[in-house]
Amino acid sequence: MDETADFLSREDEAVHALGLGDSGAAIFQPPSAPAAKEDWGAFDSEPAFQNSPAMSTSTPIPPVSFMSSMSTGGSSPTKQLTNTEDEPEVIKQWREQFNKTIAERDEKSKAKHAEILAAAKTSLERFYADYNATKTKGIGKNRETEKSSIANRDDTSGNVWERAVKQIETASSSSSSNPARLKGLGKTGTADEKPAKVKSLGKVKDTSRMKDVLKSLVKDEKAPGITA
């Protein structure tokens, strides 16, 4: 026995218990479905949605291009303007002039750089040429001075006083011709040696009185060592 029949039987019993009799059964009698009419005319009629006011033909339909742009995301107005319109002639002229100015400036900068490098190279070559020439000249002069000093030292002509005068003159000329060497000698050595060296250098410079004495001995025929 299904649930529907069981429910109806219980309701029928409740109605009879209330004394309603068959009238209660009529109240709870489910309505019968109307018989289907064999009317095929509905298939020949127009669809109902065409007569609906919501789908009236007066409603505007968006264009296909707008719908396609909405479906694809569309494009920005700036991009469309760039694609449809060319660049103004004024902008083109300004851009060409700007590029030309930059190119000219780069060329001038490169030329200036090359000029500076060439001048620096020439100056460096001149410096080394002068340095080598001065060095060669100094070396030759030093060699000649050395030869002259050796010749004067080994010269045995004259008496002993004449040779002594020559030695003093040679020492004086060599010392006076190189003052930087004398200055360097005064700065070298320990603290105890410096005063002695400076004192000795001072004595070498002051040889005028000694030279006068030796010259007087050279001229003196009675000086000791002349007849030897």
Residue-level pLDDT at 55: 47
- Concatenating the DSSP letter of every residue in the chain gives --HHHHHHHHHHHHHHHHT-THHHHHHTPPPPPPPPP--GGGGTSPPGGGG-GGG-TTSPPPPHHHHHHHHHT---HHHHHHHHSPPPHHHHHHHHHHHHHHHHHHHHHHHHHHHHHHHHHHHHHHHHHHHHHHHHHHHHHHHHHHHHHHHHHH---S-HHHHHHHHHHHHHHHHHT-HHHHHHHHH-S-TTHHHHHHHHHHHHH--HHHHHHHHHHHH-TTSTTS--
Amino acid letter at 91? I
Measured in whole angstroms, the distance separating CA 184 from the mean position of its chain's CA atoms is: 47
Give pTM, 2 decimals: 0.33
Name residues of the chain where pLDDT drops below 70: 1, 19-85, 156-158, 173-207, 225-228
Residue-level pLDDT at 218: 77
Residue-level pLDDT at 99: 96
Q: Convert the pLDDT of each residue in 178-200 to its tens digit.
A: 555 545 544 545 545 555 555 55
Residue-level pLDDT at 85: 64
Q: 159 is written with which tokens?
A: 């008496």
Residue-level pLDDT at 177: 56
